[in-house]
Structure 1
Amino acid sequence: MSAGRSASTPWLLVGPGALFFLAMVILPLILTVVLSFHVYDHTTGIKNEFTLAHYAAVLSDDYYLGIFWRTLRLAALTTLICVLIGAPEAYILSRMGDPWRSVFLLVIIGPLLVSVVVRAFGWSMLLGSTGLANQLLQALGFAPAKLLYTETAIVIALVHVMLPFMVIPVWTALQKLDPAVEAAAWSLGASRFTALRRVVLPQVSLGMLSGSLIVFGLSASAFAIPGLLGGRRLKMAATLVYDEFMHELNWPLGATIAIIVLAANLVIMLAYNRMVEARARRTLG
C-alpha cells in the first residue's frame, strides 16, 4: 500500500501544474493552429473548411516577409544591446557591497513595477518632435531629428524594458562564481581584461544565454511598444496579428502569422541555445 502511494505521489504533485499548463498554454496553441487552416471568406466569415492558402500567401508575400524580417532584426539588435549593457552592469552589481547593492538592484528592477504602456507613452513624449531629446539637440546646435515612429525609437524603448531580464540572470550566475578564482588569475599574472575573458565570461555564459533567450523572445512578441512608438506604418509581427484579428477580422490569417512567428522564434532560440551550450561545454570541460 505504501509503495503504491509513494509511486503515485510524484504524479499527484505534478498533476495540477500539468493540467493548468495544458489548459492555459497547450490547448490555446492547438486551437490557434487549427484555426490557421480554416478557410476565410470576407462575406460569410470563417468556414468549416481547411486550406493551406494562408500559409502560402504569407510565406510568398514580400509585405509579410518584410515585417517578419523587421521583427527578428529589431529583436536581435535589442538582445545584443542588452548583452553589451546588462552583462557589465551585472558584473559591477555583483562587486558592490551593502547597502549599495540593494539600492542599485532596486533601481534595475524598478521599471518592471511600471506598466509597459506607461513607459511607452513616456518614451513617446521624450522622443517626440518637441520632446526632451530634440530640445537637447537644439540646445547643442543641431537640427531636430525624427526619432518617434522609427526603428530607433522602438529599439530604445525595448532595451529599457528588457534590460532587467538580462541583468538578473547574469547577476545570478555571478553569485555562484567564487571571487577568489578571479583573484587567483590576477595573482598568476593575468590582466583584469584577461581574467574577465578567460575566467568570468565562461562561467556566466549560461546566464547570458538565459537572459538572451528571454529578451529575444519578449522583444519579438512585443506589442505595446511597437504599436505606440512605431505607429501604423512601422509594423511588427504582434501589431500585424492584432490588425488581422481586430480590424480585418481575418482570424485564420492572424493565427497563421502568429504560428509562423512562433515557429521562427523557436528555431532561432533552439539553435542559439545549442550553439552557446556547446561552446560553454568546450570551454568549461
Structure 2
Amino acid sequence: MSGPASMSGPKALPYAMSAPAFLLFATLLLVPLVLTALLSFSNFDHHVGVKAGLTLQHYAAVISDDFYHEIFLRTLRLSGLTTLICIAVGAPEAYFLSRMSPRWRAICLLIVLAPLLISVVVRAFGWSMLLGREGLINQLLELTGIGRQRLLYTETAVVVGLVHIMMPFMIIPVWTSLQKLDRSTEQAALSLGASPFTVFRRIVVPQVLPGILSGSLIVFGLSASAFAIPGLLGGRRIKTVATLIYDEYLHELNWPLGAAIAIILLVANLLIMLGYNRLMERRYRRALG
C-alpha cells in the first residue's frame, strides 16, 4: 500500500508545479480565443448590434466573397515574400556572425537586436518619412536621374517595413543553430578533398535548416498578423487581414464578422505553418541521410 501511495506524490509534483503557468496561459490566451470563436458564431444586426443566436453567415460571407479572397491572398503573399527575403538575407548574416571574433560578434548582435528596443510604430513612421514623396530615398532617386517614385502606401513599402521588423527573428534562430556546428567537421571534410561548396551543402546547410525552419515560422506568423506596418505604410489602399479586422471591429462595429475573419486567419496560419514544418522536416531528414 505504501509503494503506490509514495509514488503518487513525485508523479503529481510536475503537474502541480506547472499548474500556475498553465492557468496563466489559459487565462491570457485560451479564454480570449474561445470567446472570440464563440463571438464569430453570433448574429449581428446593423441597428441593434450583436444578437442572441448562432449562425454561420459570417464564415459563409468570408468564404464566398472575392473581396475577402483578395485580401487573404495579399496578406499571405506579403508574408511569404517577407519570409523569403528574411531567409535570403538573415541566414547568410547569421553565418557570418558565427564566424566573427567574440568582440565583433557582440557588437553586431547588439546592432541586430537594437531595433527591438524601439516601438514598431516609431520605426513605421521612420520608414514613412524615408519612403515619402519628399523623403530621402526619393531625393536620391531624383539625383540619380531616375525621378521620384510612389513608394509609400504600396506593397513594396509594406514588405520593406516587415523585413526590417522581422529580420532579428530570423537571424537569432539561425545563429543559435550554427553555434552547435563543430568546425572540426568542416575541416575534416576539407582535408578529405571536399570542395567548400560541398562542405557548405552537406555539412553546414543541414545544421542550419532547424534554425531556418523556426525563424521562418516566426517571421511568417508575425507578418501575417501584423497591423502597424500595413496600417501605416500601406494606408487605406493596401488592406491586409489585420487592418480588415480592425475596420470590422471599430469602424463597422461588426464584431462577429471581425471575429470570424480572425479565426479564419488563425486556422490558415496554422495549416500553412504545419504544412511547411512537415516539408522542412522531411528535407532535414533526407539531408542527414
TM superposition score category, shorter chain reference: over 0.9
Q: Which residue of 1 aligns with 2:261?
A: 257
1:112 matched to 2:116: yes
Q: 1:214 aligns with which of 208, 218, 226?
A: 218
Q: Which residue of 2 aligns with 1:57?
A: 61
Q: Give, in whole Å, the separation in 2 of the partners of 1:238 and 1:200.
A: 37
Unaligned runs of 5+ in 1: none
TM-score normalised by structure 2 residue count? 0.97
Q: Give, in whole Å, the separation in 1 of the partners of 2:177 and 2:238.
A: 37
**Post-superposition shift, 1:2?**
4.5
Decide whether the 8 Å contact of 2:42 with 2:256 is kept in 1.
yes
**Post-superposition shift, 1:183?**
1.5
Deviation string, structure 1 residues 12-62 (Cα, Å, up to 9, x no partner) = 111011111111111111111110010100001100111111111111111
- AA paired with 1:236? T
Q: Which residue of 1 aligns with 2:181?
A: 177
1:69 matched to 2:82: no
Deviation string, structure 1 residues 121-170 (Cα, Å, up to 9, x no partner) = 00000000000100010111111011000000000010010000000000
1:91 matched to 2:100: no
Q: Give, in whole Å, the separation in 2 of the partners of 1:269 and 1:72.
A: 12
Q: Which residue of 1 aligns with 2:7?
A: 3
Q: Give, in whole Å, the separation in 2 of the partners of 1:153 and 1:190.
A: 43
Q: Give, in whole Å, the separation in 2 of the partners of 1:187 and 1:3.
A: 55
1:26 matched to 2:30: yes
Deviation string, structure 1 residues 45-100 (Cα, Å, up to 9, x no partner) = 10011111111111111111100000000000000000000000000000001210
Task: Kindly report the root-mean-square deviation, in angstroms, between the aligned alpha carbons of the 2 structures.
Answer: 0.9
- AA paired with 1:108? V
Q: Give, in whole Å, the separation in 2 of the partners of 1:249 and 1:154.
A: 26
Q: Give, in whole Å, the separation in 2 of the partners of 1:4 and 1:38.
A: 45
Q: Give, in whole Å, the separation in 1 of the partners of 2:196 and 2:72.
A: 41
Q: Which residue of 2 aligns with 1:129?
A: 133
Q: 1:237 aligns with which of 237, 241, 252?
A: 241
Decide whether the 8 Å contact of 2:95 with 2:178 is kept in 1.
yes
User: Tell me, what secondary structure is at the counterpart of 2:203?
Assistant: helix
The percent identity for this pair of structures is 64
1:144 matched to 2:157: no
Q: Which residue of 2 aligns with 1:103?
A: 107
Q: Give, in whole Å, the separation in 2 of the partners of 1:187 and 1:157.
A: 44
Q: How many residues align?
A: 285
User: Tell me, what secondary structure is at the counterpart of 1:46?
Assistant: strand
Q: Which residue of 2 aligns with 1:201?
A: 205
Q: 1:45 aligns with which of 31, 46, 49?
A: 49
Q: Give, in whole Å, the separation in 2 of the partners of 1:85 and 1:189.
A: 29
Q: Give, in whole Å, the separation in 2 of the partners of 1:264 and 1:136.
A: 40
Decide whether the 8 Å contact of 2:124 with 2:161 is kept in 1.
yes
Unaligned runs of 5+ in 2: none
- AA paired with 2:229? I
User: Tell me, what secondary structure is at the counterpart of 1:234?
Assistant: coil
Q: Give, in whole Å, the separation in 2 of the partners of 1:110 and 1:266.
A: 30
1:272 matched to 2:270: no
Deviation string, structure 1 residues 95-114 (Cα, Å, up to 9, x no partner) = 00121000000001111111
TM-score normalised by structure 1 residue count? 0.98
